[in-house]
Amino acid sequence: MERFPARGEIVDSVDTVRPSNAEERDARTARNGGAPTLEFGRRVPYDSYVHASTLHTLQRTLSGDPGEMSFLVVSQIMELYFKLIRHELEQARDHVRADEVWLAVAPLKRAALHLEGLNAAWQTLRWMTPADFNKFRDMLGEGSGFQSAMYRQVEFLLGLRTRSLMRPFKGTAAYEELTAALHQPSLWDEVIALLARHGFPVQSELLSRDVTDEHEADPSVSDAWVKVYRDTGPDNHLRLLGEALTEVADRFGDWRYLHLKAVQRTMGAKSGTGGSNGLAFLQRSMSRPVFPELWTSRTEM
């Protein structure tokens, strides 16, 4: 039988977290008299799990301006959200591929909520004027959010695919990961294949096309969604899937708009640090819809 440390006894915590169960937690609470455990060994269990001490070493500003810390931390928060959103979209894609329509809805709903968190991060940079940004902008060199490999993975999963945008990562592990992601069907590709398996007359060419190319809206897919939405029965899981996908696309559209507004607010139409024409480049990117037939089908619904 496990021996619990006495109250006040130092617990030697290693880098891995030791799982516990409800009985152990109740026993620990009784032993501590309701107070939290305050003594540990080499590492606090929370840090063993979250690695907060590592995270807090990654904010290395390059200028003496105090506002740069906000820009850097928010950028890192966004990177973590990109990873979380990628995780959820991969889960949803795998469920759709396996015909598990109901199971695909939950990760899509989570992804939409994560996108809300991602979008909220822009609010904490609303204090930044062009003068504020100019205090440390030169220190960024050619660094740009355009070069986020994790964001590109999110775009690839959503069906937004431009091979040339992989070129900045040549010679890196990120390039190999992006190449692998590009050659896998996107979430939307898998949704179209799912519609075909459910008997909707989707153009056969869509099921055998080169998935490394960006999907273009097709009337047969739009017609399929019209039929899906006309079935208002409680067991129509495809309709629920469509709404979950719509929420993701909607929130991703919010991300693009807020990104554009943040750029417009802090630098106007100046050239971007990464070599693009900044605002104009973002405006063009917004013209590429995510899950396009979910939007075109609404005209006929």
Nearest to 159 by CA among 205, 107, 214: 214
Distances (CA, A) of 164 to 49, 168, 175, 176, 178: 38, 9, 12, 14, 11
C-alpha pair distances (Å), 286 with each of 115, 231, 258, 264, 293: 16, 31, 11, 14, 16
Q: Is 172 annotated as a binding residue?
A: no
Helix (H, G, I), strand (E, B) or coil at 297: helix
Tell me whether residue 237 is annotated as binding.
no
Q: CA angle, 74 as apex, 131 and 175 as ends, to 5°?
A: 110
Q: What angle do CA 83, 86, 89 make, to 5 degrees?
A: 155
User: Cβ contacts of residue 221 below 8 Å, gap of 6+?
Assistant: 192, 195, 202, 203, 206, 293
Question: Cα(205)–Cα(58) distance, rounded to whole angstroms?
Answer: 47
CA distance 161 to 299: 26
CB atoms near residue 21 (< 10 Å): 8
Q: How far apart are CA 173 and CA 284, in angstroms?
A: 29
Is 137 within any annotated ligand binding site? yes
Q: For 40, phi and psi rounded to 5 degrees? A: -135, 175
> Of 62, 264, 78, nearest to 143 (Cα)?
62
**Which residue type occupies 268?**
G
State the binding site for heme: 259
Which residue numbers belong to the known binding site for substrate? 137, 273
Binding residues, as ranges, are: 137, 259, 273
